[in-house]
Structure 1
Amino acid sequence: MDTATFLSTLQQQAQAQKTILQSEFLPLDDATLNFKPHATGWSILECLEHLNRYSRFYLPHLERALTATATPVPPQPVRYSWMGKKSLDLVNPVNAKKHKTLKHMNPHNSQLTTAVLTEFLQHQEKLLHLLSAAHKADLNRKAIPVEFFKLLKMRLGEAFEFLILHQQRHIQQAQRVQAPSLQPLSLVV
């Protein structure tokens, strides 16, 4: 896929994720946002806090990599490394397999407030800004350290796609948590 189409697709997905947060999660009360479907499950706020923790790591690295790009690069196809393909497969929402998260990225049983939503929206704005700036960058350059093993590097394009897919996966998880609370109570007489 060429760079322009790739970035345009990611921008549309990031914007859609922002819209979901604004329309589906912002109007909810604290009890609904903190509801857990079961003891080991995450609440809506825990799903979003998990994403905030990843954004706190990856967004500064993406910004530095884009700032380090001295001259615009001509359009070229986006390529994937073995590491990139594995990372993307791991977080792809189509992959229903559950994965254990790193301890410091796991917000389970955290005391969270609606500030999590505000922070997520700020991260989305930053991500959208970086995606716009990426049109001049070499998306095939290995520049972004992998969070769990910083010696490994992802390509710039892979890191953008990783963030978007990871967010999509956990936003869908948060939507599933919310779904039972949307069901009207029925009384059986």
Structure 2
Amino acid sequence: MVTIPPALAIVCTDLTAAEVRVRAAFENRTSQALNWRPLGKSWSVLQVVQHLALANRFLAAAIDRGLPSDPGPELESDRIFPGLVWRLLLAMVEPQFPLKGFAPAVLRPPPTLLDADTTLAAYLASHECLRTLAARCSGLDVNRKRLRHPILRLRMSVGCVFLLVTVHERRHLVQAERVAQLYQADQSPGKRD
């Protein structure tokens, strides 16, 4: 049986909750609806989910590089404690933060139409990769083990990277749900007249 460190158990729970939200966003929606872009500029539901899959894989690769092959015995923490700078940065990624960020080119979804099944599979696979990495952290103090964020180049704890994944997902899942609602409103009978 795979043991997830206590500090990362909540992260794995958040990943599962995000999967439920994504499946709900996909449910009973056509490919046209999932690829629809508000004003032709913003990301579609599929592009948002593709972005999350890309970002998750990108951060998972950074975690993988940062983990020792044999962590040895360390004192596990049952919580993740981000430092002051990372608490501020994480707060800026939360859905309620009013300013919009930007995605570097490597994390931008393609501007073309996406396949729903392929996009969902990539997203779910990124979560499995993160869960596998969380299990590899067993016996590791995720607050002390540090790595460099691959884009911001700031040092952060492994635990903080996992928190960043879940906060980033929350922000973009709100975005995907909003796009789905806008599509429904755009397709309503009164709107088409």
Q: Indicate conservation of the 8 Å contact 2:18/2:173, yes or no.
A: yes
How many angstroms apart in 2 are the aligned matches of 1:64 and 1:104?
A: 18
Q: Indicate the residue corresponding to 2:174 in structure 1.
A: 172
Q: Which residue of 2 aligns with 1:140?
A: 143
Within 1, Cα distance between the matches of 2:190 and 2:113? 33
The Cα shift of 1:41 comes to 0.8
The answer to whether the 8 Å contact 2:8/2:134 transfers is yes
Q: Tell me the equivalent position of 1:116.
A: 119
Q: Which runs of 5+ in 2 are unaligned?
A: none
Q: CA RMSD in A?
A: 2.5
What whole-Å deviation, never above 9, does each CA across 1:55-90 have from its counterpart, x for those lacking one?
Answer: 221112223334435213223353222442233122
Q: Kindly state the Cα deviation for residue 107 of structure 1 after the two structures are TM-superposed.
A: 2.5
1:134 deviates by 2.6
TM-score, normalising length: structure 2: 0.82
Q: Determine the structure 2 residue equivalent to 1:61.
A: 62
Please tell me the residue identity of whatever aligns with 2:163: E
Alignment equivalent of 1:129, drawn from 123, 128, 132: 132
Tell me how far apart the structure 1 counterparts of residues 164 and 170 of structure 2 sit (CA, whole Å).
10
The number of equivalent residue pairs is 185
CA distance in 2, matches of 1:142, 1:81: 13
For residues 9-31 of structure 1, the C-alpha deviation after alignment (integer angstroms, 9 at most, x for no partner) is 21111101112222331542210
Q: Which residue of 2 aligns with 1:153?
A: 155
Compared CA separation, residues 69 and 94, structure 1 to 2 (3 A): farther
Whole-angstrom CA distance in 2 between matches of 1:21 and 1:67: 32
The unaligned stretches of length 5 or more in structure 1 are: none
Q: 1:78 to 1:27 in 2, by over 3 A?
A: same
CA contact under 8 A between 2:62 and 2:149: conserved in structure 1? no
User: Counterpart in 2 of 1:50?
Assistant: 51
Distance 1:178 1:19, change over 3 A: same
- C-alpha distance in structure 2 between counterparts of 1:66 and 1:27, whole Å: 40
| Per-residue deviation, 1:98 | 1.1
Give 1:44 shift.
0.6
CA distance in 1, matches of 2:147, 2:30: 37
Does structure 2 retain, via aligned residues, the 8 Å contact 1:71–1:136? yes
- Listed one character per residue, the Cα deviations across residues 26-46 of structure 1 (whole Å, up to 9, x for unaligned) are 542210110011232110111
In structure 2, distance between residues paired with 1:75 and 1:51: 28
Task: Determine the C-alpha separation between the residues in 1 that align with 2:127 and 2:27.
Answer: 14
Paired residue secondary structure (1:59) = helix
TM-score by length of 1: 0.83
In 2, are the aligned partners of 1:15 and 1:128 still within 8 Å (CA)? no
Change (3 A) 1:73 1:123: same
Q: What is the identity, as a one-letter code, of the residue corresponding to 1:41?
A: S
Q: Which of 88, 91, 95 is matched with 2:93 structurally?
A: 91
